[in-house]
Structure 1
Amino acid sequence: MDHERKDDDLEKLLHSMPKIDDTRSKDELLERLKNDKRLTDISVTPVRKKRRIVPVIAAVAAIILVAILIPSFMNSMNPGKQSADQAMPKSDSKIAPAESIEEEGENFARDASSESAALMGGASQYAVFPADLDGGTIMNIGLQDAQAVSIPVSILLTKEELESKGLTVSSTDLELYNAFAEELDEQSLGFEPMHPIDATFTEDGDRLSVFLNDEHEYDLSAAKQEVFLHSLQQTFPSYREINILDASGNPAEFDQVGQLEPIHMQSGEWHTPFYVYHQENGQELLSPGFMQQAGSFEEALRLMQTAPNDLFAPTIPKKLNLTVKLKDGIAEVTFSDTVQLDSMPMNEASQMIDALLLTASSFNVQLKLGHVEPLDWNGLNFKETLPQAIGSNPLPFIHK
């Protein structure tokens, strides 16, 4: 009974408290938040300098959310309420003290600010450009997915990581592979363990020789063979010819196809359209469809509007009509109707633009897009010829 009486007294006391209205405008609250050191003195160390930024909506939304909630937290600091709190009889009811509420508000503001700062670090990016390297380079590598597909990935290597191995940005694909492939944690990146390849390598200019060890298992099935051959092309794109040999130096023989012919490439030119690939873990990447080539850049763009199989999805919506003009190494792609990128989901818009850039790079042409708005979007300037992509699916180097 005494406990119920205390609860009744407490309820009456709370109802008798004066109602406090915050008459400040949203602009005043926002200005105060901008000047609040608790929100501005928060340092966020970026993993890597990004070329692109996510739209500021996420950051503004977090600030507005803080602005809406701050008045309720400020009420706890009101003298009238503090007097009522002091006069309030002690009871078993679990009511958080004003100091706890104020601390919770500060923690919320700090978390919201930190999350916004982290979001501003970068958006979904599926291609790598020279401006992204920041004094480092990339290691191209084809990683094996759980569905027996090789996906081309760009492992970002910092200048410090290169120097630790005695390498530079001019080091060859093979030098980078020999230095870092064994240390790469493929499983942490969402792939099956495959590297380093069970072989030794030699290079002679733009020719690469792969000497398979006798115990290799790349010919146990057609799927294993396909992943192995695709991974070689994706890992060593700078070579014009890749010779696959046995330990004695003779052309290797696989049970499925017999003697392997040299792989001829045009130094990074795959002539392949890029599609969206959905991993089982939910991660989305851009990849050629089993390295299938197109006869021309224009044909590649048409192919990108249709799924080639059940594993890959289109990167250009089928409803979009476009024309292609190729002159002096520049492909001018113009959409018949203006494409509003801001009206598309961010990841889909990034996938389409980056797939276009990767496909253009696969044909060794630069890309200029017409009828695309806004003209300045996600770090790209559509008023000019766009930078050439130098790699796909940027991922950090994670040690085993």
Structure 2
Amino acid sequence: MDKEKWSEEKIEKMLSQVPNPKDNRSIDEVYTRLKNDKRLQDQQPIERKSWKWMPIAVTIAAVLLLGILTPSMLKDSQHQSDQVSESTFMQMDESADELAEVEKSIEEAALFQADKSSHLLLADELDGYIPFQIGLVSRAHVIPVTFLIPSETIQVDFQKENPNSVELYQKYAGQLREEALGFDAYHPFEGEIIAEEGMVRHKLPSNHSYDRSSASIQVYEGTIRSTFNDFSKVLPVQENGDAIEFSQVGTMDAIQINHDRHAASYYKYTLPSGQTYIVPQDAGEFAETVEEALLNMKKQFSDDFESLVPESVHYDVQVVEDTVFIQFKDLLDLSQMNDDEARLMIEGFMLTAEQFQLAIKLENVMQENFGKYDLSEALPRPVASNPVDFITE
């Protein structure tokens, strides 16, 4: 039967065949029988063993377990805490580094903005760059400017670190967008520029335009001096190398590029675009001494040039060894001057003295610092003037 397969129908059929139980006894009869049944009479309850030691044991076990687990838990917790702390400190360090980088970037940006208003370059500002100096032209005046070429570009273009001014000129002069910078279209020079025997030769075609007037000759010589100032002289010659004559002056001698021969005082020059530059005035007196050149800066020789020294500022000049001391007669408070005005005056002094390879020291000035300059010491000698963006074709 156990092996038979039961179905709901079979089960229901079998259940229907089971007789219904019937009890014909009265209620009283049933009650009397139950009352006399000894199995249902009261008996003393069987006392079960009480496991009173269980809570104590559980407590002891719990304590022991806690004793075992706590160091491990604390160790894990400490490890996690150490990890969190280490992670937190690492994040704090990283955040501090990032903040320092941001602050450094802000400072560099601020310094960069401040330097953009400067009209000269110091030696430490040339790190990573090679200066390409050239004389640009505006309204028959020569404006010496400096293009900063990245050292990487120089290395690619020349396969060496320090090309001379002739090499730089041959490579980049034809690429300059002078008019985009507000200057006249003047470069590259007509003819061929070559360096040989320690000097520069300028081979000119017969129809060159540099001798049309005395003014054009002056501009030509000015651009030559401003562009090839790492050579001692530049000799204009015919294309075959023979001496050349300029219609205004006759046979041309070598153009001397010698700072000791004479020097012009520096003045402010403004392009028609409104851009200002510090330039050696070509319409004034040439000085034979640095004292004369610095004192001439207060004189006005041309409407095209503006003195860098305010009329109310007076000073004496004294040279001691390789430093020029500029002593202001009255205590000079630079805060009473416009920042640009004060900067132009200081840098004009520096550039004028540099023509004699001398540094300057300002005396009787209220401030000890101004912009990037420490006025408590002799100011560094500039290495270039009028930095401009390198805009090429």
- TM normalised by structure 2 equals 0.69
Code of the aligned partner of 1:303:
N
1:274 aligns with 2:295: no
Residues in 2 aligned to 1:314 and 1:248: alpha-carbon distance in whole angstroms: 45
Quick check: 1:275–1:286 contact (8 Å CA) kept in 2?
A: yes
Give 1:364's aligned residue: 357
Code of the aligned partner of 1:364:
Q
* Match for residue 189 of structure 1 among 178, 181, 184: 181
| 1:179 Cα deviation from its structure 2 partner | 1.4
* Match for residue 226 of structure 1 among 218, 223, 226: 218
**Residues 169 and 344 of structure 1: is their aligned pair in 2 closer, same or farther, counting only changes over 3 Å?**
farther
| 1:161 Cα deviation from its structure 2 partner | 2.4
Residues in 1 aligned to 2:148 and 2:249: alpha-carbon distance in whole angstroms: 35
Quick check: 1:143–1:152 contact (8 Å CA) kept in 2?
A: yes
* Match for residue 134 of structure 2 among 133, 141, 164: 141
Quick check: 2:114–2:371 contact (8 Å CA) kept in 1?
A: no
SS class of match (2:163): coil
Give 2:290's aligned residue: 297
SS class of match (1:192): coil
Quick check: 1:276–1:313 contact (8 Å CA) kept in 2?
A: yes
Give 2:342's aligned residue: 349
Quick check: 1:141–1:231 contact (8 Å CA) kept in 2?
A: yes
Long gaps (5+) in structure 1: 1-39, 54-118
Residues in 2 aligned to 1:235 and 1:315: alpha-carbon distance in whole angstroms: 24
* Greater alpha carbon shift after TM alignment, 266-275 vs 336-345: 266-275
Residues in 2 aligned to 1:206 and 1:331: alpha-carbon distance in whole angstroms: 32
Quick check: 2:264–2:282 contact (8 Å CA) kept in 1?
A: no
Quick check: 1:269–1:364 contact (8 Å CA) kept in 2?
A: no
SS class of match (1:304): helix
Partner deviation per Cα, 1:248-285 (whole Å, 9 max, x = no partner): 21222111111111112226875221011121111111
Partner deviation per Cα, 1:86-124 (whole Å, 9 max, x = no partner): xxxxxxxxxxxxxxxxxxxxxxxxxxxxxxxxx845451
Quick check: 1:140–1:154 contact (8 Å CA) kept in 2?
A: yes
Give 1:151's aligned residue: 143
Q: How is 1:122-137 mapped onto 2 (pairs within 5 angstroms)?
A: 122-137=115-130
1:286 aligns with 2:278: yes
Give 2:326's aligned residue: 333
Residues in 1 aligned to 2:351 and 2:101: alpha-carbon distance in whole angstroms: 39
Partner deviation per Cα, 1:284-321 (whole Å, 9 max, x = no partner): 11111117521211111111002111111111123322
Partner deviation per Cα, 1:355-379 (whole Å, 9 max, x = no partner): 1110011111111111223211111
Quick check: 1:306–1:313 contact (8 Å CA) kept in 2?
A: no
| 1:224 Cα deviation from its structure 2 partner | 2.0
Residues in 1 aligned to 2:355 and 2:262: alpha-carbon distance in whole angstroms: 5
Residues in 2 aligned to 1:223 and 1:167: alpha-carbon distance in whole angstroms: 39
Partner deviation per Cα, 1:118-170 (whole Å, 9 max, x = no partner): x845451111111211221211100011x111111111112122123125552
* Match for residue 244 of structure 1 among 233, 236, 240: 236
The number of residue pairs the alignment matches comes to: 294
Code of the aligned partner of 1:378:
G
SS class of match (2:301): coil
1:264 aligns with 2:266: no
Residues in 1 aligned to 2:136 and 2:372: alpha-carbon distance in whole angstroms: 28
Residues in 2 aligned to 1:355 and 1:180: alpha-carbon distance in whole angstroms: 28
Code of the aligned partner of 1:181:
A
Q: Calculate the aligned-residue CA RMSD, in Å.
A: 2.7
Partner deviation per Cα, 1:333-386 (whole Å, 9 max, x = no partner): 111112222221121111101111100111111111112232111111011111
Quick check: 1:239–1:267 contact (8 Å CA) kept in 2?
A: no
Long gaps (5+) in structure 2: 1-99
1:379 aligns with 2:372: yes
Give 2:48's aligned residue: none
1:214 aligns with 2:206: yes
SS class of match (2:286): coil
Residues in 2 aligned to 1:153 and 1:218: alpha-carbon distance in whole angstroms: 21
**Residues 270 and 178 of structure 1: is their aligned pair in 2 closer, same or farther, counting only changes over 3 Å?**
farther
Residues in 1 aligned to 2:204 and 2:297: alpha-carbon distance in whole angstroms: 35
**Residues 168 and 153 of structure 1: is their aligned pair in 2 closer, same or farther, counting only changes over 3 Å?**
farther
Residues in 2 aligned to 1:266 and 1:341: alpha-carbon distance in whole angstroms: 34
SS class of match (1:150): strand
Identity among equivalent pairs (%):
27
Residues in 1 aligned to 2:321 and 2:159: alpha-carbon distance in whole angstroms: 35
Quick check: 2:368–2:376 contact (8 Å CA) kept in 1?
A: yes
Residues in 1 aligned to 2:311 and 2:293: alpha-carbon distance in whole angstroms: 13
* Match for residue 313 of structure 1 among 283, 306, 317: 306
| 1:237 Cα deviation from its structure 2 partner | 1.1
**Residues 172 and 345 of structure 1: is their aligned pair in 2 closer, same or farther, counting only changes over 3 Å?**
same
